């Protein structure tokens, strides 16, 4: 029987693509002089999101390398690419955070069912907590870990182990819910959690990783799933 349900943030409780569409105009305007003049803001954003979707399990610098290949923006040095990442995190993300409409009701329902609710998310403390506050989720969790605070990032064992120690629950009594096959599914499974893959990103790219025992299209399906398996 599970005692806690622990979540990833991006693509799990947070609609990253909708948020990018709402905020990347700042990025476009900032770099307008090195973006092809015939590429409108809307076209640029959709092309960038398309590339980001394909490289979803990599980082922004990898995305920007592909952007250069496709001729939509080209950073000549790694430092320029790193600065572009800082623009997205520091200037775009603070504009808006768009939640999945089912996220908060699902967390509330799971609480009513008696589960502890947690969050383990890769990223910096400031950036991830900004998203959490903007989404109105800061009071929804019994424990939150941003991996920069513990000095190790998923799929490393440390964030999952530290979370279990803080909340005082054996990993075998917890379910971990996320979209990333390596960081979320495999990372949590190695520590003893039962993983659930959320199929918001659509494709399982890691053929060498065993799939999760449970899959859902969105977290809205979790209460019904748990009612069936956790008796």
> What are the residue boundaries of the structural domains of the chain, listed by start?
4-15+98-229, 17-95
pLDDT digits (tens, 9 = 90+) for 172-211: 999 999 999 999 999 999 999 999 999 987 778 788 999 9
CB distance 165 to 4 below 8 Å:
no
pLDDT digits (tens, 9 = 90+) for 58-92: 888 889 999 999 999 999 888 999 999 999 988 99
* Both structure tokens of 137: 């989720």
Cα separation of the two ends of the chain: 7
Where does 4-15+98-229 sit in CATH, by number?
Answer: 3.40.50.1000
CB distance 85 to 24 below 8 Å:
no
Q: What is the DSSP letter of 64?
A: H
What residues contact residue 139 under an 8 Å CB cut-off, 6+ apart?
none
Q: What is the pTM of this model?
A: 0.90
CA distance 28 to 91: 11
How large is the average pLDDT for residues 117-142? 93
The kind and range of the H/E element at 41 are helix 41-54
* Both structure tokens of 193: 């959690």
Length of the chain: 231
Cα 64 to its chain centre, rounded Å, is 19
* Both structure tokens of 52: 């980001």
What angle in degrees, to the nearest 10, is found between the helix axes of 222-229 and 103-112?
A: 30
């Amino acid at each position: 029987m599970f005692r806690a349900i622990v979540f990833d943030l991006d693509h799990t409780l947070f609609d990253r693509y909708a948020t990018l569409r709402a905020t990347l105009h700042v990025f476009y305007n900032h770099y307008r002089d090195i973006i092809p003049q015939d590429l409108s803001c809307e076209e640029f954003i959709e092309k960038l999101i398309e590339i980001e979707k394909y490289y979803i399990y990599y980082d922004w610098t990898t995305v920007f390398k592909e952007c250069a290949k496709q001729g939509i923006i080209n950073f000549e040095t790694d430092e320029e690419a790193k600065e572009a990442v800082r623009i997205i995190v520091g200037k775009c993300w603070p504009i808006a955070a768009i939640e999945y409409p089912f996220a908060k009701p699902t967390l509330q329902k799971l609480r009513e069912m008696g589960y502890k609710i947690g969050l383990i998310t890769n990223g910096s403390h400031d950036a991830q907590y900004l998203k959490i506050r903007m989404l109105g989720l800061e009071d929804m969790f019994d424990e939150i870990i941003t991996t920069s605070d513990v000095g190790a990032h998923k799929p490393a064992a440390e964030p999952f182990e530290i979370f279990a120690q803080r909340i005082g629950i054996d990993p075998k009594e917890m379910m971990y819910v996320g979209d990333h096959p390596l960081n979320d599914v495999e990372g949590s499974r190695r520590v003893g959690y039962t993983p659930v893959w959320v199929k918001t990103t659509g494709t399982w790219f890691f053929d060498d990783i065993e799939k999760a025992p449970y899959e859902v299209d969105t977290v809205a399906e979790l209460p019904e799933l748990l009612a069936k398996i956790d008796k």
